[in-house]
Amino acid sequence: MPELPEVETVCVGLAKVLVGMRFAQVEPRRRDLRVPFPPDLAERLMGRSVVSVTRRAKYILMELDGDDMLLLHLGMSGRLTVGPDNGAPPGKHDHLICRFAGGDGPVVMTFTDPRRFGLCDLLPKAVVSQHKLLRGLGVEPLGPELTPAWLGERLRGKTTTIKAALLDQRLIAGLGNIYVCEALFHAGIRPTRRAGLCSQAQIAKLVPAIRKVLRAAIAAGGSSLRDYAHTDGRLGYFQHQFCVYDREGEPCPGCACSLSKTHGIRRVRQGGRSSFYCATKQV
């Protein structure tokens, strides 16, 4: 599933092209993805202009003139591409096609989703924060609310692992498996460590590690492992900078350990996901 850096990259790509343009044609090519498309989606979007494109956690928020917001989520395999409208026929998994007028010429945005776990909703701006998918979300990991003191207070007494705590969207919104593994490596914390047993010194390292990893990933355009790509079709390349994720049995960066003794980066299953860590550097 695309995580925060991938969604942020998509938002930037959409904003660069679509802000100021207006919907000229809206074509839902099926009745639903994870949930049904709004029945009046095309009628409500026609003629509306895009004011901004922002992100909340892993959700894309397209602000329209008037009082509506288009809410998009990429799900497991969704992809949003945008570019000049050359009249190419839609593909098998292109489920929503939006054509825009204005700017330097006609543009088309295509929502492609082979597994159909994505979603699209349209709602008044005034109630966006109360949407059932958004109202329970925690703080943004790149926002000012996330501080070592704040996180330490909320981890106190927690019996879940630190990995599970960081993946809890009610605590910190937008973090996913890849970037939690990477941040814990940089902070020197083993993913299986009980959250409530993390010292304040460890948490003081963890918060900047989270920000460092996310900013580096955004700068690299995210990680392309399966379906994810930029809005112009290019792939992200942060996967080439992974320190531990998906590198089982390999040495971690700067490791002077004997692989015959340590067996390199280890992988364990936690909550149905793979966690990767260095048993020497992470405690």
CA 42, CA 147: separation in Å to the nearest integer?
Answer: 43
Structure tokens at 77: 């395999």
Those residues with Cβ within 8 angstroms of residue 196's Cβ, 6 or more apart along the chain or in another chain = 155, 156, 157, 158, 159
Those residues with Cβ within 8 angstroms of residue 282's Cβ, 6 or more apart along the chain or in another chain = 184, 185, 188, 189, 190, 191
What residues form DSSP beta bridges with 52?
63
C-alpha atoms less than 13 angstroms from C-alpha of 115 in its C-beta half-sphere: 13
Structure tokens at 73: 């989520």
C-alpha atoms less than 13 angstroms from C-alpha of 179 in its C-beta half-sphere: 30
CA 41, CA 201: separation in Å to the nearest integer?
Answer: 50
Residues tagged active-site: 2-3, 58, 273
Q: Going by DSSP bridges, is the β-strand pair 22-28/79-84 parallel, antiparallel, or unpaired?
A: unpaired
